[in-house]
């Protein structure tokens, strides 16, 4: 397949909304996604870490892709996260979401097993060669305990439909290392909210964002200012955003992001166990950060220029 994809800008890692009995609230999730598209995001990632992928059944994942495709109405690409225990399970889910209409997949390493580098590379290669969809390789070693290093990614450069690398390690030097070896072979995406401007400065084309679920216009504006090199305009917005963006780097990032969504009326804070509601002290901290952010919410610079 062709490497020509048009993935750039902010792709929120969309939250999955639940009913009080923890069943998926598809109507509410449709509304969340439609509102994000209305507010100008450039793409969508469903069933990612923030979407609680590992707490969902395969049938729920397929339905969520269908919901996202309907809500987006082909205005932005819809990428489906894939996080499975085995390579074959990931291959099977990739086939399912391709049938459901996904425009691409965001592939995580095989979960639970701590693979060696050659095993990690083979997992990505096997899934990618099983599908016609473009693949975003997702690296998040703090969470998934498996590090997709630049050397591993570079070894996959011959796999045509591995087209994108999302890095949540926080080490922006990796983007430079990859470009030094293979140029622009891979589209690079920031995956950790609180290093997004630094990531853009060293070549990131996009941002899979957690906190843009609650602040999509601020996220897209920040990204576009930085991408245009308008750092004098970007930095005041980044400084305002930073206490919120730090919430994306916590182990309980899903609960934090969904609470922020709830506070601004864009979703609910309910998560599916084993994720539980934030303890009182943590909830109070998030509420305090949000209160200050909303009190000082800046006017956004013009990004149409």
What are the extents of the domains in the chain? 9-295
Alpha carbons 270 and 64: distance in angstroms, whole number: 17
Active-site annotation holds for 166: yes
- 10 within 8 A of 193, measured Cβ to Cβ: no
pLDDT in tens, 190-237: 999 999 999 999 999 999 999 999 999 999 999 999 999 999 999 999
> Mean per-residue pLDDT for 238-246?
98
> Residues with Cβ < 8 Å from 250, sequence gap 6 or more?
256
Nearest CA among 160, 47, 54 for reference residue 110:
54
Backbone angles phi, psi at 293, to 5 degrees: -65, -45
Q: Are strands 206-209 and 78-82 parallel, antiparallel or unpaired?
A: unpaired
**Is 208 labelled as part of a ligand binding site?**
yes
Task: Indicate whether 1 pLDDT > 50.
Answer: no
Task: Give CA separation, 180 vs 69, 174, 186, in Å.
Answer: 36, 10, 12
Of 61, 69, 166, 258, catalytic: 166
pLDDT beyond 60 at 2: no
Of residues 303 and 205, more confidently modeled: 205
Q: Give the residue from 293, 197, 219 showing the smallest Cα distance to 39.
A: 219
Annotation marks residue 138 as catalytic: yes
Backbone φ, ψ for residue 278 (5° rounding)? -60, 140
For residue 61, pLDDT over 90 is answered with yes
Cβ proximity of 126 and 135 under 8 Å:
no
Q: What is the mean pLDDT of the chain?
A: 96
Q: 9-295, superfamily in CATH?
A: Aldolase class I (3.20.20.70)
Strands of the 9-12 sheet, one edge to the other: 9-12, 206-209, 187-190, 162-167, 135-139, 104-107, 78-82, 44-46
Q: Which residues lie below 8 Å from residue 149, measured CB to CB, with a gap of 6+?
A: 117, 174
| CA pair distance 116, 301, nearest whole angstrom | 46
Each residue's pLDDT tens digit, 253-300: 999 999 999 999 999 999 999 999 999 999 999 999 999 999 999 999
CA atoms within 13 A on the CB side of 94: 27
3-state secondary structure of 83: coil
Please identify which of the residues 61, 69, 138, 227 carries the catalytic annotation. 138
The answer to whether the CB of 170 falls within 8 A of the CB of 249 is yes
Interatomic CA distance for residues 156 and 128, integer angstroms: 10
pLDDT of residue 143: 85
**What is the rounded end-to-end Cα distance, in angstroms, of the chain?**
34
pLDDT at 63 over 80: yes
Predicted confidence (pLDDT) per residue in 77-86, tens digit: 999 999 999 9
């Amino acid at each position: 397949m062709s490497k020509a994809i048009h993935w750039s800008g902010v792709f929120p890692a969309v939250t999955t909304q639940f009913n009080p009995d923890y069943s998926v609230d598809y109507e509410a999730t449709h509304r969340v996604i439609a509102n994000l598209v209305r507010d100008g995001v450039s793409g969508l990632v469903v069933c990612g870490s923030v979407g609680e992928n590992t707490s969902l059944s395969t049938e729920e994942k397929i339905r969520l892709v269908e919901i996202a495709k309907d809500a987006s109405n082909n205005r932005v690409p819809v990428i489906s996260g894939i996080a499975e225990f085995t390579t074959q399970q990931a291959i099977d889910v990739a086939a399912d979401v391709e049938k459901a209409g996904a425009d691409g997949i965001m592939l995580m390493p095989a979960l639970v097993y701590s693979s060696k580098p050659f095993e990690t590379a083979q997992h990505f290669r096997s899934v990618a060669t099983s599908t016609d969809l473009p693949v975003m390789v997702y690296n998040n070693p703090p969470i998934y305990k498996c590090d997709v290093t630049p050397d591993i990614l570079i070894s996959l450069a011959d796999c045509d439909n591995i087209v994108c690398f999302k890095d949540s390690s926080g080490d922006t030097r990796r983007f430079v290392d990859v470009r030094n070896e293979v140029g622009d072979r891979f589209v690079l995406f920031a995956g950790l909210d609180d290093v997004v401007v630094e990531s853009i400065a060293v070549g990131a084309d996009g941002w899979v964002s957690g906190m843009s679920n609650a602040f999509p216009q601020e996220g897209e504006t920040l990204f576009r200012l930085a991408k245009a090199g308008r750092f004098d305009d970007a930095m005041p917005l980044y400084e305002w955003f930073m206490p919120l963006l730090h919430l994306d780097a916590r182990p309980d990032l899903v609960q934090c992001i969904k609470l922020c969504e709830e506070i601004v009326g864009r979703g609910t804070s309910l998560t599916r166990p084993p994720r539980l509601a934030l303890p009182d002290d943590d909830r109070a901290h998030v509420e305090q950060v949000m209160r200050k952010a909303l009190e000082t919410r800046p006017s956004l610079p013009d990004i149409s220029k």
